[in-house]
Amino acid sequence: MGEEEEEELSDCASITLEEWNGSSSTKLFRTATITASSSLSIQRSANRFNHVWRRVLQAFVPEGFPGSVTPDYAGFQLWDTLQGLSTYIKMMLSTQALLSAIGVGEKSATVIGATFQWFLRDFTGMLGGILFTFYQGSNLDSNAKMWRLVADLMNDFGMLMDLLSPLFPSAFIIVVCLGSLSRSFTGVASGATRAALTQHFALQENAADISAKEGSQETMATMIGMSLGMLLARFTSGNPLAIWFSFLSLTVFHMYANYRAVRCLVLNSLNMERSSILLAEFMQTGQVLSPDQVSSMEGVLPVWATSLRSTTSNTLHKRVHLGVKVTSLPRPDMMQLLNGVGASSHKNAKYLLAHRKGSVSVILHKDAAAADVLKSYIHAIVLANLMEKTEAFYSQGEAWMDKHYEEFLNKLRSGGWKTERLLSPSITWRANWISHTSGAKID
């Protein structure tokens, strides 16, 4: 019986078995080779360091990286980690100043006094976060780059207030409450934009994995930053000039790293500025720009910091007012709508357009869907573009929409743009109307 089994084994073809490890099929590497001759042979991979390094890296990058995320992920995360590192180093300096101002280490300071001051500081921050969410929460998606930058600017302002607090003991509560208020804006804006960016990075429905690994990266940056901050606080203690020089230097680097981080982002969603840039180029050349090209052209700074920019494609969106309240329009504009001038009712469009002094107001129907909002905005941008070239911009605008709108959308989709919806500030005002020839009314 044993001889027969040996003969059967000898007749079978031998197999060399290889062991591979990795988080995706494109990132596998061989760890061992198993062969069988007279005895079982297991040959381990000589490069064990690579195996250990890859295992450590899996705690900080998404599974399947880089194929599971967008190409701009690595650049953004690098600069975002560096700005986080500088933030936590600065935090130790501002916290040291704040504790000193509260009275830590002084015999005259009371526990109840310090507790009350800390409570008032935190209470102001919580209230500010709620108010900021109420006024701006629904607008953060539409301009994630700008709000990401503003969030960190407000964080720097909050730390500056903490550092200033010992210098103004009579106004201590006001100064620290201003700092807490500023940081509360940071918390809301940074968290909301991070959620939007996580969805952008996720190519394989792996937003949860990306979010978890981003948390690991931030924790590591926090630990390193706090350690370096403790050393810096120790070396600069009692030397105001060294403290301020360190703080301001770190602040400049922090804002530079933030600017570089948001400049790395290549978003393919349509917001108001990106749409106006794309449309202006399409109307001029018939071509659609790629997300990479638009990314280098769109602004990331707040409106007050970009008022000097005058490029037509970058200012068209500022001349369009989306979701206007009907009763807020001047009477001549309302007469235009009532008389059918600017009432884009051809093909049952669910929006009305009114123009005044180079700007276009968009009134949306109460039943307008996401596709209607996008179409109304594109139509308004077309009118804003044609206003400077012809007096017959209404008729030419409608003719352009009839002829080119679907072509424009198709080219956008082919170029990698998401055309399902327009990312815009929250639209809370709508209207209802009935087209008529006589005797009817508009609500």
Tens-place pLDDT, residues 243-279? 999 999 999 999 999 999 999 999 999 999 999 999 9
Judged by average pLDDT, the poorest of 33-37, 110-114, 425-429 is 110-114
CA 436, CA 441: separation in Å to the nearest integer?
A: 8
Give how far the C-alpha of residue 79 lies from the chain's centroid of Cα atoms, to the nearest Å. Answer: 14
Q: CA–CA separation, 326 vs 419, rounded Å? A: 27
Residue pLDDT, tens place only, 267-322? 999 999 999 999 999 999 999 999 999 999 998 887 666 654 444 456 788 899 99
H helical segments located in 365-392: 370-386
pLDDT at 223: 93
Per-residue confidence (pLDDT) for residue 441, from 0 to 100: 45
What the block records as the tokens of 361 is 């107001």
Q: One-letter amino acid identity for 309?
A: R
**Cα of 163 vs its chain's centroid, Å:** 29
Domain definitions of the chain by residue range: 16-59, 71-265, 270-305+313-423
pTM: 0.81
Residue from 255, 256, 243, 257 nearest 92 by CA: 243
Q: What CA–CA distances, in Å, run from 24 to 18, 204, 208, 214?
A: 16, 12, 17, 19
DSSP letter (8 states) at residue 202:
B
pLDDT of res. 96? 82
| Cβ density class 245-270: b for 16+ within 10 Å, e for less | ebbeebbebbbebbbbbbbbbbbbbb
Q: CATH for 71-265, among 1.10.760, 3.40.50, 1.10.8, 1.20.1250?
A: 1.20.1250
The total of other beta-carbon atoms located within 10 Å of residue 22's CB is 15
- Percentage of the chain with pLDDT > 90? 43
Burial of 78 (0-12, 13-18, 19+ CB in 10 A): middle
Mean pLDDT of 370-398: 89
Q: How confident is the model at residue 443 (pLDDT cuts 50, 70, 90)?
A: very low
Mean pLDDT of the chain: 83
According to the model, what pLDDT value does residue 2 have?
Answer: 52
pLDDT at 48: 58
